[in-house]
Structures are given as C-alpha cells and as structure tokens.
Amino acid sequence: MTRATVDLGAIRHNVDVLREAVGPGVALMAVVKADAYGHGAAPVARACLAAGCAWLAVATVDEGVALRRAEIDAPLLTLGPSDPAEYPAALSHALSLAVGSLANATALAQAAHTLGLTARVHVKVDTGLNRFGIPAARAVAEIAAIAALPHLVLEGVYTHFASSEEDDKSSARRQLALFMDALNRLDGLGVRPLLRHASNSGAILDLPDARLDLARPGIALYGYHPAGPGGAARGLRPALTLRTRLARVETAPAGAGVSYNHTFHTARPSVLGLVPLGYADGLPRLLSNRGHMLVGGKRRPIVGRVCMDQTVLDMTDAPGAVVGDEVVVIGRQGDSYIGADELGAHVGTNAYETLCRITPRVPRDYVE
C-alpha cells in the first residue's frame, strides 16, 4: 500500500539543469551515498550516468562495492574516511578512495602493492569544515609526498564547504581561497592532480568560481535546494513521492482520545483517517500532532502520536474521504504539495535527513 515512487525522468532533468549551471568543461559527479538519499542507489546511479554524469560518489566502501555488484563500472569515489581493513575490497572493486592523511595513503599504497594493483586517490583538503581531510596548512607538503608514493595515482584533490548554500558566501569564499592557494603551491611543485573539485549543490547553484574540473551535486539531483524551499525556483524537480492509502475512515465523538497516550482529544465530533505508515517507515515520531498529509488534494493534520506502523489524520473537514483514497506524505497531489524540506522543518531537520530516513520497508518504484 505504501510506496515511494522515484521519477527517474526528474533525476535526468535535474542533471540537465546542473550541467547547464556548471557549463561546458566541468564534469559532474553524482553523489548517490545513503542509497541515493533514500531514492535507491543503483537505479539513480544508472539514470545519472545516462544523463551524462561522468562520476559517481558514495560515502563508504560498502556502498561502492554494492554499486559494483549492481554492475555499475563507472568511475566511483568514496567520499568518507575508510579503514585500512577496507582497502583490499576497495582496490579489487576499482573504487577511487578519499584519503585524509599521508599515513592512510601510505597504507593504501602498501595494500595496492600487495594485491598487484594501483590505488587511485582523491586527497581531501580541510579548508575549514573541520571534519575530514588534511588541514590546509599541512596539505601541500603531505599531498606532494602522497603523489610520490608508488602503486598510487593522485587522481584528485578536493575540499568541501561548510555553508555554500547560505546567502552569505564569505565563509565559502575563504575556504575556496585556501583551496586555490594550496593548488597553486602544488602546481609550483609540479604536482598537478587530474581533477580538482569543491562544489556541492549549494556551490554549483550559487558560487560559480568553485566549479573547477568537477562538481559533486547531491541534494539538487533529487530536486531540492540545499537551503530549503527554493529548488523549484531553480528549475529542479523533486523526484520522490511517498504515498499510501487510507486504511480506515471512522467517526469519533467529541472528547475522544486518539492514538497512544491520548495526546490528542477531539474537540468536536470528528472523522479520523488511518494511514498505514509510521516511524518504522521513516515518518518521524516527532511529527505527532504536527504537520499534514494530503488527501483529496487538501492538507489534513496529523493527530495524536505517530506510531511505528500507523498514523491518524483528522479528516473532519474532508467529508467524502473513503478507505483506499490516496494519501501523499511527500510530493504533489492535485494543486497541493508537501516537500521533504517542509516535512523536515516541522521536526527541526531538512530534506536530506527526511529523504534518507525513509526505511527499506517502503518499496521503491521507478517511473520515467
């Protein structure tokens, strides 16, 4: 009954929008980590490659291996830190690995030597996110040493922005200046990585100077602007619709307590609609008594606790709803629309988390 429908045509359209945004000469690396932000990594990866993305990126070696097992042989970078125990799997599946220290690069080169393979690395420079990577102050010396390692090719050097989606671009510009300075100094040492990259969705859309050789869109591929509502204004199309069907429509008298712990009481004789979807499907329990779903093209408030598998809507103002009517949790119905960003905002989060929290219990359907 509950399904997430992913419009691969929308994904391809979004790739077109992003290709237009970066212009000619800039390759696109489709970020399909976290099961393509909940959309399904393999089908989304294939759609992005068909639409002209040259590269794929995931967070972990396991995610990369899963794509290789799905017979996807495009260039594929793991963006997150990986453990030396994972190097043999990464190397034998021809993954390019992000590296954040000379020590890891040395261990990786050793693993490649043992297997008779060549490691391909993208060194991450930490220009101010203070998360992963070699701090910019040490980066030039360490990257030069990494580039000199045997059994290893320095395929790329990259950085990642803390707040490129914000209107105030000063922090992103400071990071970009540090990155360009490191690249220039490397160039002075004769170290010229094939691919220099920095842009996430926010920078692709709003910071043209950061495009370099390759750009790494994630959330924009799925149709959302990283800053929240605004994706549509850029011509992006949300790709995922989460829908189900009303499983019960029943009246309740005034004063009836609804769902666990009776956190909601009807103020009037009411019609309650049962939605067979709950927090085990990825609907946050914090949406209890907050937010809406669409039935008959209109917003219906969530009342009472969101349960593991079921949620109740107040349908009193929607006479005529019957069992089997479509319920849209994320997406469009008639003239109404609830985005993953709007749903997330009710519980203090964003489209990213809302989308990648849709659990494996929800079947994904693919349409063109």
Ligand X SMILES: *Cc1c(COP(=O)(O)O)cnc(C)c1O
For ligand X, the binding residues (CB under 6 A) are 31, 33, 79, 160, 200-202, 216-220, 226
CB closer to ligand X, 126 vs 314? 126
Cα separation, 83 vs 76, whole angstroms? 17
Q: Is 228 left (phi over 0), alpha (psi -120 to 50) or beta?
A: left
CB of 215 to ligand X, least distance (A): 9
**Coil, helix or strand at residue 275:** strand
260 is catalytic: yes
CB closer to ligand X, 203 vs 294? 203
End-to-end CA distance of the chain: 21
Q: What residue is closest to ligand X based on CB?
A: 218
CB closer to ligand X, 217 vs 238? 217
| Residue of 158, 260, 298, 337 with catalytic role | 260
CB of 294 to ligand X, least distance (A): 26
Q: Is 320 left (phi over 0), alpha (psi -120 to 50) or beta?
A: left
- Between the CA of residue 198 and those of 11, 114, 186, 212, what are the distances in Å? 22, 32, 16, 7
337 is catalytic: no
CB of 135 to ligand X, least distance (A): 16
CB of 77 to ligand X, least distance (A): 9
Cα separation, 367 vs 43, whole angstroms? 11
Residue 328 half-sphere exposure toward CB, CA atoms < 13 A:
20
Cα separation, 83 vs 104, whole angstroms? 8
Catalytic residue numbers, as ranges: 33, 260
